[in-house]
């Protein structure tokens, strides 16, 4: 039973005797006394039932009740003064009590009362979060300047416009805004801003004093390059904007900001180039993010299902990058990017399958090397995905498809092995996955040693034990290397999952199972779209202009137009390739002429 709850005992009533006199009605004092007597009796009975262990719970309950009472009193006074609970009434004392009884109970929230002016002193209140607000701005640019202001009489002439005088003539922070809603003020406060209340003024000043603890700009860890930029994003969205501004100095680069998350209120910015990116793409991204109903946004993964047309698909449709040069290049092509505060990865959209197999290094080196690298990546994908299933199908289900000498060689290597090929593949690949996961979780100094020594020791021991054949070690090694050639981490995950599917199909159906599995994967890829862009573009549908930068990469002067599938407002991105350049200078002749002079 809840403490202090009134027991609901039904009292037996005696029938009224005929002819008896009716009792006179109770006065207010008698009714109050009776009510108090019943409450005391109930409280005494409840205290008797409470054991000594529940004394702490009772104390906490009384404390919470007292705090709730203060909050309700503060809200009632605010409602009486301003007519709304969500609007600041202009009373510094009421604002102090409201903050003190709510968020001000936290030790990191500082409530500072002070006076504006020397001779004429106007009461004011400032609230900020210690550690998130820059203390130098709070002390020197707000408190010191406010207390030394010698024309405070200007504030008293019209208190409703006192915030404008403070904004223009008193404090010095560069970015100041005005708010009146308590809901927005508390979000601003927890974001690191300082909020300033002035007695008699219904408007509240919000000073930008944000100072988030941030790590320095480091080198990329998931998208390494040899000749590319060595800068990576950090978790601060403002730093991400600055890194993009350094690479795209055009005033047409816009960042449209909004807040997502009912608890975290995470700042999200949509980056695009005005006049280049298709406005329909930008408005679609805004619309999808505005309807995202999530509690918190910490990594950007929480909003990705809202940005994809088929979030249940195994294949990634939103590309994540930690490299500013990659994001800047994609923006210049006509794409949009989503910057998420507290996440070092920027979301790029829309994307095709080919986008996940391209790196910034493809555009640093010449086109021949870039084409070779792309072909090697897809060759590694096919080897890693198909080599073990083909081995299982050709040794267990369809051995008649192999030459006789090759069959005898494989059969000789398998003499004395207790497991069929499918279990050999599953055992070895499970070991590879365990080693990969362990190397990711261990410290960097130990992960390299574990990966190298573990693979050598386990591989040698399992062959000597007669569990798998030496040929299987070669096949699994090529498989692991092939699947890890993907430059995008999120694209390597679906192929590792589909690997198990193809292995299972090859064991039961042989070559036919592999063909059916590949057709199912191809059909699924062909059905995917993201913001109206087909996933297999420029191959399905075929876009001849976009084929210049797909499996092969033409020289940069020949890539004069942006991808047609993005429908940018400006199709042309550079001048035509000069087919007849100026003749080369005759260096020897020029030197001889200088010597003759």
Query: Residue 9: its pLDDT value, please?
Result: 43
Structure tokens at 359: 């790196």
Residue 113 phi, psi (nearest 5): -90, 140
Query: Residue 8: its pLDDT value, please?
Result: 46
Element (DSSP H or E) covering residue 502: helix 489-509
On whether the pTM is more than 0.95, the answer is no
**Euclidean distance between CA atoms 278 and 280, whole angstroms:** 5
Which range, 167-176, 418-427, 516-525, is most confident?
Answer: 516-525
Of 239-253, 406-420, 451-465, the range with the lowest mean pLDDT is: 451-465
Residue 477 phi, psi (nearest 5): -65, -45
Q: What is the three-state SS of 568-583? A: CCCCECCCCCCCCCCC
What average pLDDT does the segment 244-256 reach? 93
Structure tokens at 323: 């490299």
Return the closest-CA partner of residue 357 out of 490, 543, 230: 490
Q: Which of the pair, 5 or 372, is modelled with greater confidence? A: 372
The domains of the chain are located at 79-207, 237-349, 368-554
Helices 489-509 & 421-441 angle (0-180, nearest 10): 160
Q: Which of the pair, 149 or 215, is modelled with greater confidence? A: 149
Return the C-alpha torsion angle 215, 190, 284, 279, nearest 10.
-70
Query: Residue 459: its pLDDT value, please?
Result: 76
Structure tokens at 301: 């993964």
- pLDDT 10s digits, 183-223: 899 999 988 899 999 998 989 999 999 887 778 888 888 88
Long-range contacts of the stretch 372-377 (C-beta < 8 A, 24+): 374/551, 374/552, 374/553, 375/551, 375/552, 376/485, 377/485, 377/486, 377/487
**Euclidean distance between CA atoms 151 and 141, whole angstroms:** 17
**What is the CA angle 177-181-183, rounded to 5?**
105
- pLDDT 10s digits, 336-374: 999 999 899 999 999 999 999 999 988 888 899 999 999
**Euclidean distance between CA atoms 229 and 220, whole angstroms:** 9
**Euclidean distance between CA atoms 330 and 533, whole angstroms:** 15
- pLDDT 10s digits, 104-117: 888 889 999 999 99
What average pLDDT does the segment 395-401 reach? 88
Percentage of the chain with pLDDT > 90? 38
Confidence class of residue 39 from pLDDT cuts 50, 70 and 90?
Answer: low
Query: Residue 224: its pLDDT value, please?
Result: 85
Query: Residue 36: its pLDDT value, please?
Result: 55
Return the closest-CA partner of residue 300 out of 354, 376, 365, 235: 235
Query: Residue 3: its pLDDT value, please?
Result: 42
Going across the sheet that includes 122-129, the strands are: 109-116, 122-129, 194-198, 204-207, 176-179
Average pLDDT score over the chain: 84
């Amino acid at each position: 039973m809840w403490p202090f709850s009134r027991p609901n005992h039904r009292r037996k009533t005696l029938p009224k005797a005929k002819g008896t006199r009716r009792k006179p009605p109770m006065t207010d004092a008698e009714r109050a006394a009776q009510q108090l007597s019943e409450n005391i009796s109930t409280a005494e009975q409840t205290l008797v039932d409470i054991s000594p262990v529940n004394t702490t719970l009772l104390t906490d309950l009384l404390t919470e009740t007292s705090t709730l009472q203060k909050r309700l009193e503060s809200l009632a006074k605010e409602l009486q003064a301003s007519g709304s609970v969500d609007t600041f009434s202009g009373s510094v004392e009421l604002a102090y009590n409201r903050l003190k009884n709510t968020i001000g109970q936290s030790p990191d929230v500082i409530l500072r009362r002070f006076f504006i002016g020397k001779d004429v002193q106007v009461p004011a209140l400032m609230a900020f979060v210690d550690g998130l607000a820059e203390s130098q701005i709070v002390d020197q640019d707000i408190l010191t300047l406010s207390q030394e202001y010698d024309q405070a009489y200007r504030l008293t002439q019209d208190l409703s416009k006192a915030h404008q005088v403070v904004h223009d003539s008193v404090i010095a922070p560069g970015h100041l805004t005005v708010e009146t809603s308590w809901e927005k003020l508390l979000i601003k406060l927890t974001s690191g801003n300082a909020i300033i209340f002035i007695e008699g003024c219904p408007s509240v000043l919000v000073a930008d004093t944000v100072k988030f603890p941030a790590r320095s700009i480091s080198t990329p860890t998931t998208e390494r390059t040899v000749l590319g930029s060595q800068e990576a994003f950090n978790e601060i969205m403002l730093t991400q904007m600055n890194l993009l501004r350094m690479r795209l100095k055009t005033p047409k680069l816009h960042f449209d900001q909004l807040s997502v998350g009912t608890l975290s209120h995470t700042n999200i910015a949509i980056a695009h180039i005005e006049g280049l990116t298709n406005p329909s793409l930008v408005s679609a991204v805004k619309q999808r993010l505005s309807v995202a109903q999530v509690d918190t946004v910490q990594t950007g993964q929480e909003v990705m299902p809202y940005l994809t047309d088929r979030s249940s698909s195994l294949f990634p449709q939103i590309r994540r990058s930690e490299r500013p040069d990659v994001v800047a290049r994609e923006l210049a092509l006509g794409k949009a990017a989503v910057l998420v505060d507290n996440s070092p990865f920027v979301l790029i959209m829309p994307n095709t399958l080919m986008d996940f197999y391209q790196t910034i290094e493809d555009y640093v080196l010449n086109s021949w090397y870039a084409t070779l690298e792309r072909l090697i990546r897809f060759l590694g994908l096919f080897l890693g995905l198909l080599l073990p299933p083909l081995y299982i199908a050709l040794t267990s289900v369809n051995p008649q498809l192999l030459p006789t000498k090759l069959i005898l060689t494989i059969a000789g290597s398998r003499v004395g092995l207790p497991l069929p090929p499918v279990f050999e593949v599953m055992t070895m690949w499970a070991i590879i996955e365990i080693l990969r996961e362990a190397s990711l979780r261990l410290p960097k100094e130990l992960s390299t040693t574990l990966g190298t020594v573990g693979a050598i020791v386990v591989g040698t021991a399992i062959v000597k034990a007669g569990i798998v054949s030496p040929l299987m070690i070669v096949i699994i090694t090529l498989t692991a290397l092939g699947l890890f050639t993907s430059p995008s981490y999120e694209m390597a995950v679906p192929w590792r999952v589909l690997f198990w599917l193809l292995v299972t199909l090859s064991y039961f159906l042989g070559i036919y199972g592999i063909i059916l599995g590949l057709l199912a994967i191809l059909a699924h890829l062909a059905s995917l779209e993201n913001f109206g862009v087909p996933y297999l573009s420029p191959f399905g549908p075929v876009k001849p202009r976009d084929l210049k930068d797909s499996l092969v990469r033409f020289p940069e002067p020949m890539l004069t137009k942006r991808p047609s599938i993005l429908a940018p407002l400006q199709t042309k991105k550079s001048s035509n390739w000069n087919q007849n350049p100026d003749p080369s200078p005759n260096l020897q002749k020029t030197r001889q002429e200088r010597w003759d002079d």
